Each structure stands twice: as C-alpha cells, then as structure tokens.
Chain A
Amino acid sequence: MSLPDRRRGVALSLVLLAAVLGGCSSGGASPSVAPPSASPSASAAAASPSPTEAPAFPVTLTDDEGTAVDVAAEPEKIVSLTPATTEILFALGAGDRVVATDDGSDYPEEAVALPDVATFSSVDVEKVVALEPDLVLAGGLGFTPADAISRLRDLDVPVVVVYAPSVEGVLKDIELIGTATGTTDTATTLTTQMRSDMDAISDAVATQSPKPRTFYDVGYDDTTGAIFAPAADSFLAEMVTMAGGDVITTGDPNTYELPLETLIEKDPQLIVLGTNPFYSPTPDAVAARRGWDALTAVRDDAIRPVRDIEITRPGPRLPIGLRTLAGAIWPDVTLPAAS
C-alpha cells in the first residue's frame, strides 16, 4: 500500500477521520458493534467510584468493539499502535511504560524516539510479541488490521481496541485507557479538565450569530478534483459545530467525498483548511481550484488554514484543537485561555 505522499496524506486524514467516526467494524476475529454508551464499562472492581476501594487489577474491560479484554496486573510494558493512544498514555503519566508505538506517533517528543512496530497500514506482529507487552492499544475501524489483532490475541496478548465516534467517546476512551493502565484517577482529572475547557470554548462562541456556513477541507485530489469533507454525524462535524460553525458535511455517515455541485449548492461562507505535513495547500491554491470561484468563501477570501492534528486526532489535545478551530471560525471573539 505505497501511495504517493500526498495521496497517502489524504488517506491518512481519512483514516484519522475514520478512527473517530461511528459505525460498525467488521471482519477478522473481533466481535463488533458496541453501542457507544457501552464503551468503557469496566469490571466491578475498577468501576467502583471510590479510589480507596479494592485493587484495580485484575480487571476485565469491554473495548470499543465490545470485546472483553482481561488485564491481569497493572501493565508495565505497553505497546501503542495509534498516535492518539500514544498521546493518551503519555497524558495519563503512563508514558514511561510505553515500550513501542507506530510510526505516526509524533507527540509528545519522548514518543518519537520509541521503537516503531507498526506503520500506517501494517503491524509487525513479530516485533510486538518480542517486546512481551502486557497491554496493546489498537485502533478500531480497520486502523489496526484485524488480522494483527487476532494474531496477538491468539498469543494471549491483551489488545484493547479503541475508536471514538464522538468527542464524548474520546473522553470515555481516555477513561477506558486509564482503567487499563491503572491510572483511573489521573484519567478522570484529565477528562474533567478537557470537558470544562471545551465547554468554555464552545460557550464563548455559542452566543455568536449568525453561524457561518463552514466547510472543513479534509483533502483534495488535484487530479480528479475529488473533495473530501466531514461525514455526517462525524467527530469532525461535531468539532466544527462546537466551534461555532454551521457545518457542511457529506450528508451521509459513510461518505467522505463531496461532489463539487453539492459544495457550490451549500455555498460555504468560510473554508477551514485542515493542514498537516501530507496536505498543506495554500489558500491561493484552494481559491484556484476549478469551479471553486463560485463559492462565497473564495470570493470573500475567507479561507483559513489550521493545523489539523489537534483537531482530528482523538486524544488529550482536543481542547487545543477546538480552540484553534473556534479561533479560525470566530477570529474576533476572545476565547478563554487554555489551561
């Protein structure tokens, strides 16, 4: 699966997106379709509200695919197969227990130096097994190949699969990972803080009106003119809404492409350009796209690039992402300082 860099970038954005969308996963050996509410239900011992209660391990978790995963003791060697789970582990103070990550894990700095045992499209099961991890965190919806997950589980390696369909789902995933790593209290503190930071930002823009019709540009194929946009009800669409935009989606939860005609019909007043190392067109290049001169946002010069990593990666930096997004949509509104 060697795509040229830019296409790979688009694909990467899509998969990042996919990782945070709802829907069902299938194939492979892992059962699926957990109702979102069922995500991080821990066993009695761990779900107990009082921190002074019985020991947190052993614990049986239900991961986002509905698989029951037994974690016998507090994990000491953790392998993280997605950038988001890596960030979560470090934010929970479990970073020193992470022994390997995937090659996309670029934050925080300490994670970059760790050995890579997975790429965008594959997992080196042999390397993972050689590290003798007592916990592996994988991405759902095909982010981590189902075959790799089932091979690891066959070899009695506990694999927790996470994918969050919504912002609330990300917070629940953080708490799930907290339970899996014995950092429940830190996780609760973190999610409480994130929730209040994000509420403060969306409260600050909530009173603004009218909400601009906002198109979040996920990717564009110069050759075919294919336009990639947030799917309906997706994590990204939710972020744009929280940031005070009237979000333009593909209109379908499983569609990531938006026909140019539809984009023109929806006529965004604002284009937020999600940029990353693989996809970073200039606003001028966006304005020059064939047919895009019909858009109000292009005529008004309202094309605003943002760093999309914090916005699209379902991890602890979401409040920063939301702040960036709200700042791009409402540049004149004073947003609460990040804590």
Chain B
Amino acid sequence: MAAGVLSHGREAGGLAAWVRARPLVVGIVAAVILLITLILGVGLGSVRISPAETIGVILSRLIGIDIGVTWSPATEAIVWDLRLPRVLTAMLIGCGLAVAGVTFQGLLRNPLADPYVLGTASGAAVGAAIAVLLPVQLVLIEFGLLHGLAFVGALGAAWLVFRLGGTGGKGGLTRLLLTGYAVGSVLAAILTMAMYVSGVELRQIFSFLLGGLGGSSWVRLVVAAPLIIGSSVLIAMRGRSLDGMLLGDAAARHLGIDVSRERGILLALASMATAAAVAISGLIGFVGLVVPHVVRLLVGPAAHRVLPISAIAGAALLSAADLGARLVGDVPVGVVMALLGAPFFLFLLHRSRSGYEL
C-alpha cells in the first residue's frame, strides 16, 4: 500500500515529474486560483454589480475607506451579506472536507475513504431528519435544531463507530471500516424510514442530503470557522504521524508513533471538521474524496505537502463550483463539482504513467 511513497523517486520524466519536484509551485498556483475564485465569487452572481461598486462596498465595510463610488443599500446587502459570507463559507467547507478526506484516506489506508466513510454522513442526515420531523422550533443565534442535531448526529455516529470498531490491533483497520459501514447502514435505514414518514417535510430532508451553501451567513461562518480551521491546523501538525501510518502500523511503531493514540486523535479531529462542515452546508460530496487524490497525483503523498495544498485546492474547488451553481441557477453544488472535477481527475489518473497507489 505504500507504493506511492516508494515510487516517489522513479517518476517518469515530463511535466508530471517537473511538477512533483516543485510542490511550492503547485501550492502557489492553487493559492492564485483560490484568490481568483474569491474575486469572481464576490464579483459575479445573478445580479450584475460593477467591480467598482463591489470593491467600494468591501473597502468601506472592511476598513472604512471611501473610494468615491456610490451604491444602493441593496447592492451593499448583496455583496456584504450574501456573496462574501457565501464564498468564504464555501472555502471553509471545501478546506475542511478536503483535509478530513486526506486524513481518513491516510488513516484507513483506503483510497475510497472520504470524510463520510465512518458513518458521519448518515449520522448527520438522521440528526437533520429528526430535527425536521420534530414539531419543535428552536433558534439560537441563527442556528436551528437542524444544524445542532446534524452536528451531534455526525459526531455521535463517528464516536459510536470508533468505540465499537476500535483503533488498534491486528486487522483493526478492516474492523473499523466495516463497523463504519454497518453503523452507517443502520443509520441509513433509519433515515429512509424518516423520509418515508416525513410527508411534506421530505423536501427539507432532501435538500440537506444534496447539500448547498444557500444558508451561508456571517454568524454561521464565524461559528463554524474555529472548529474547521482549528481541526485542520491540528491535523496538519500531526502530518508526521499520518505519513508514518501510511507505511503500515508496524513501520509506524518503529518510527516511534503511538499508532492507536494518534489514530484516535486524528479521527476525532477529522470527524470534528466534517461534522462542523455538514452542520452548516449539508452533505456535499466529491470534494473530500477526490481533492486529496488529485493533490497526491501532483505533489506526491507526503502529508506536509498534501494537507496544506489539499486545503487550498478544496477551498478553491468548492467555491468555484458554488459560483457555477449560482450562475446556472437551480443546480446543486455537488452536481457542478462532480461535472467539473471528475473529468479533470480522470485526466490526471490517465496521465500518471507510474501508476498510483495510496
């Protein structure tokens, strides 16, 4: 399974090798793309607003500078209260899901792992469905019952899987994965039942399952950001453990890594990032599964490169896809992302002559 690490030196020539040798270039390109999506994301939308007005609104709200452009209150609300928090939320979620994806794939040594693999998705969805079905209304600083129960459901499912599946010992990984699958199946059955009895509320559950960034606001962003950014930074600080575990548990132990403990901590952090993301944006797929692979194809498997570049790339991809979804109208962001991202991923897979293994 560690072929990726071992094959690092015998890369075929050409562009791929050139890129691989210069991870900083990839990082810079990703950051530039991120910046461009930020500018486009705030500048474009279903309402046409001139760049001067957009810049004027942002400068005046951000640092109080008046650049001599006038705009209407509606323009200000669109730029400052709708577009900017939405773009930043997309970036935050994209970053969190990509980092969680890298972590789950590395920990489980499974290329098909994504942030939702250990029951998080079903847990969150069941939480959301219960919130929709309960005839209770509870709103606390812009967070409804749905957000709260989705968050609790995601974390609860991950905790349950972790407790039942264990983390160490021989065959521990397989056991953990299968436990995740089994718990996920039970939760999925509960979800299906909830949807079946939900009647007219079905639509709300369905839109949670599709995921989307329409509910983004400054308050939600500010609450979710510390959880996601904090978890991501803490994961990045444990990059060495992640690298070690990619080599296998035995090799990791020889490197002095307390495998069982580190695995527990990393799983908890990745689950926290995932739960926070899911609570505010629903189940957005693809980004957490594919971005880590794309980044590994480009810069190799070392965690200290993959984690930060995946964070930037995930942020750029999700915000670009959300912009596309907004411009097209009525399209779920996951659909746009898969349509944009999957062909690019296939292209990279096809080009990588050395073969690719996690």
Chain A interface residues toward B at CB < 8 A: 1-2, 14-15, 18, 21, 23-33, 119, 121-122, 124-127, 129-132, 141-142, 145-148, 150-151, 154-155, 231, 253-256
Contact = CB atoms under 8 A, between A and B. Distances in A.
A151 B214 contact: yes
A27 B144 contact: yes
Closest 5 CB pairs of A and B: A254-B199, A147-B215, A18-B200, A130-B47, A142-B203
Contacts of B204: 26-28, 142, 146
B179 interface: no
Interface in B72-130: 72-75, 77-78, 81-83
A26 B83 contact: no
Interface of A is mostly: loop
B199 A256 contact: yes
B183 to A, nearest CB: 25
Contacts, number: 112
Interface in B46-90: 46-47, 72-75, 77-78, 81-83
B215 A150 contact: yes
Most B CB contacts (10 A, CB to CB) among A130, A132, A141 go to: A130
Given A27-B204, A254-B200, 8 more contacts: A1-B207, A23-B200, A28-B204, A31-B139, A33-B135, A121-B207, A122-B329, A147-B215
B142 to A, nearest CB: 7
A129 B329 contact: no
B321 interface: no
Interface of B is mostly: helix
Nearest to B74: A132
A141 B132 CA distance: 11
A255 B77 contact: no
16 contacts: A1-B210, A26-B201, A29-B144, A30-B137, A32-B137, A119-B329, A119-B330, A129-B47, A142-B203, A142-B204, A146-B204, A148-B214, A151-B82, A151-B214, A154-B142, A155-B81
B46 A155 contact: no
A26 B199 CA distance: 12
A256 B199 CA distance: 7
B230 interface: no
Interface string B324-357: 0010011110000000000000000000000000
B139 A132 contact: no
A126 B78 contact: yes
B206 interface: yes
Interface string B199-235: 1110110110010001101000000000000000000
